[in-house]
Structure 1
Amino acid sequence: GKAPPPMRSFRESPSPGVIPNLHPALLDAIENVLRFQAPSPIQRQAIPIGLQRRDMIGIAETGSGKTVAFGVPLCHYLLNLPERVLQSVASDGPLALIMAPTRELALQI
C-alpha cells in the first residue's frame, strides 16, 4: 500500500483519524526526558508506518534516530494495551522482541 504522509511533529498525527496521536506518556518522555524538538527524517517517515502496524525497512546513517523510529510505535502500542491484556500477556512471556546484529548495538538499544 501507499505510505502515509510523514509526521511533522511528535505532537500531531500526519493523518488525523487514520494514524493516532502519540500516547501522552510517550509524548512526555520524548519531549521532557529525551528532549527531542522534532522528528528526524527517518522518524518522520517510519513512525507513521509503525503506528499503522505495517512492516517497514528503514535505512539511514548511524545516529539518525532509527532506534527511536522503530521504538516509538512499539511503546505507543504497549502503552495503549488494556490492563487486563497486559496482565495476561505479561505472565506468558515477552511483549516484544527486539533483535540486533551485535552485542554492542543491543546494549545501545
Structure 2
Amino acid sequence: DVLGRHESLRTIYPDVDGVGYQQVLPVDEVVPDLTPVPVAESDLIARATEIVGTGFDVTTQVPFRARLFAVTETGTAAEHVLVLVVHHIAADGFSMGPLTRDIVSAYA
C-alpha cells in the first residue's frame, strides 16, 4: 500500500551512456521481506545500526530498506521493531511526515 502511493520509494536512477534517469519500478518488484528476524533485546541497537549504516547504490537499488525484528526475552517474542531506512534522494524532512503517517497506518 505504502509503496504504491510513494513512487520515490521504488525509483532507481540508472546510468545509460553517461546519462542518469529515473526508473519507477512496479510495486511487486520492490516489496521488502518483512519476515520477523529474532533478535535479543541486547543486540537490537547493533542490528539496527547495521541496517542504517549500509549504503545505497541508487543506480540499481531502490532507496529504502526495511527489516522487522522480533525482540526476544528468554526465548519468546515480546515485541516487534520495524527498522526503515530511506535515502535522502527519496525523502526529506517535509516528506517524512506523510510517509511516516502512511507507514504507521499500514503497520497498524
Q: Give your verdict on TM over 0.5.
A: no
TM range (shorter): under 0.3
Please say which structure displays the higher CA radius of gyration.
2
The structure carrying a bigger strand percent of its residues is 2
Higher relative contact order (CA 8 A, sep 6+): 2
The structure carrying a bigger helix percent of its residues is 1
